[in-house]
């Protein structure tokens, strides 16, 4: 019951922020143009600051575990490939990129670390899981959303498109935030209080503003049109990947903090940055926002189920 209460406390407020955004649009306090500008701010400023602030202060020298990092990275790549295979069944190809991203990408850095900390009193192996998965999340998201863009006029894998995609990866604000944060930590650069406080304050706006903007852009009519794809993505995100890869993690000997970190990497809700990136790269974002809302709502129950199962079997 305690885990259920925690999960609800962690996820329901996030879901309610999206509801607030939708209500603000319905009462004409916020229009779509403002919501799109808000999305752009989160994508280009807030999220990079959040990632920099989280990664720049982590002491990776003492906490590094190559075997664990490799397992998380390998599992992430496999999840992306599986999502791509599943996306081939979608008739409307303009939704393919959104489906792939929202199916594999978890809110590991936001909801995941809070979940681990609540159970063990520290973030445990969470930062290493983030290092292994989050860069791959973002790199693959840029590639997928670029190649499957509804506005794409070039042929797939055309040289001009490849060049454009690579340039987009290098200029992606979220990736820049990750790289700068990792380099800052690796080089043990000093962290002035003014800089970290400012970056922290800006980064703290990423989740609430992103969620409110997502709710304001949500369209129920369009969401129902891609309902099957959204439901399938939700099931795959919360149950499919966990059921497939968690037994391998257990077989490899991972327990306690390591196993919980792997669980939230595989089965936590799809992150709000999925929607931010999709909208900023020319996609409608309808399938993405619907799936983020569903995974956010039901992850409280699915994560509690997986935790209860692992606790009962003595793995955590």
CATH of the domain at 258: 1.20.1530.20
**Which of 2-15 are b and which e, b meaning 16 or more Cβ less than 10 Å from the residue's Cβ?**
ebeebbeebbeebb
Q: How many CB atoms lie within 10 A of CB 147?
A: 18
Domain count, the chain: 1
Cβ-Cβ contacts under 8 Å for 148 (sequence gap 6 or more): 93, 94, 96, 97, 98, 100
CA atoms of 282 and 279, how far apart (whole Å): 6
| pLDDT score, position 113 | 59
Q: Does residue 316 contact residue 310 with C-beta atoms inside 8 Å?
A: yes
| pLDDT score, position 236 | 94
CA atoms of 189 and 303, how far apart (whole Å): 37
Beta bridge partners of 270: 106
- Backbone CA torsion sign across 71, 253, 114, 24: positive
User: By three-state DSSP, how is residue 29 classified?
Assistant: coil
What domain range is 305 assigned to? 2-312
Q: Does residue 77 contact residue 132 with C-beta atoms inside 8 Å?
A: no
Tokens of 51: 């990632």
| pLDDT score, position 242 | 94
| pLDDT score, position 244 | 94
Q: How many CB atoms lie within 10 A of CB 251?
A: 8
pLDDT of 126 above 80: no
Using pLDDT thresholds of 50, 70 and 90, give the confidence band for residue 172.
confident
CA atoms of 55 and 62, how far apart (whole Å): 14
| pLDDT score, position 84 | 94
pLDDT of 127 above 90: no
Among the residue ranges 127-131, 212-216, 218-222, 254-258, the one predicted with the least confidence is: 218-222
CA atoms of 284 and 274, how far apart (whole Å): 12
């Amino acid at each position: 019951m305690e885990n259920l209460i925690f999960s609800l406390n962690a996820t329901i407020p996030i879901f309610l922020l999206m509801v607030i955004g939708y209500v603000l649009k319905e009462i004409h306090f916020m229009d779509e143009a403002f919501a799109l500008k808000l999305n752009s701010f989160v994508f280009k400023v807030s999220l990079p600051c959040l990632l920099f602030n989280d990664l720049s202060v982590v002491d990776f020298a003492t906490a590094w575990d190559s075997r664990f990092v490799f397992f998380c990275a390998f599992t992430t790549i496999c999840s992306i490939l599986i999502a791509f295979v599943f996306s081939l069944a979608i008739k409307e190809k303009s939704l393919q990129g959104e489906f792939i991203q929202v199916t594999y990408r978890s809110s590991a850095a936001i909801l995941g670390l809070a979940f681990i900390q609540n159970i063990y009193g520290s973030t445990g192996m969470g930062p290493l899981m983030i290092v292994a998965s989050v860069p791959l999340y973002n790199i693959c998201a840029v590639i997928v959303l670029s190649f499957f863009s509804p506005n794409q006029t070039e042929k797939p894998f055309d040289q001009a498109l490849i060049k454009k995609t690579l340039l987009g990866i290098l200029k992606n604000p979220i990736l820049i935030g990750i790289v700068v944060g990792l380099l800052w930590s690796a080089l043990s650069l000093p962290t002035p209080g003014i800089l970290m406080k400012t970056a922290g304050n800006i980064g703290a706006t990423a989740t609430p503003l992103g969620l409110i903007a997502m709710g304001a852009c949500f369209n129920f009519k369009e969401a129902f049109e891609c309902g099957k794809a959204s439901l399938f993505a939700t099931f795959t995100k919360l149950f499919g990947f966990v059921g497939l890869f968690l037994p391998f993690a257990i077989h490899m000997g991972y327990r306690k903090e390591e196993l919980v970190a792997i669980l939230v990497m595989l089965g936590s809700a799809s992150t709000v940055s999925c929607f931010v990136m999709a909208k900023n790269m020319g996609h409608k974002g309808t399938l993405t926002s619907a799936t983020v809302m569903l995974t956010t709502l039901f992850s409280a129950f699915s994560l509690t189920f997986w935790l209860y199962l692992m606790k009962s079997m003595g793995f955590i």
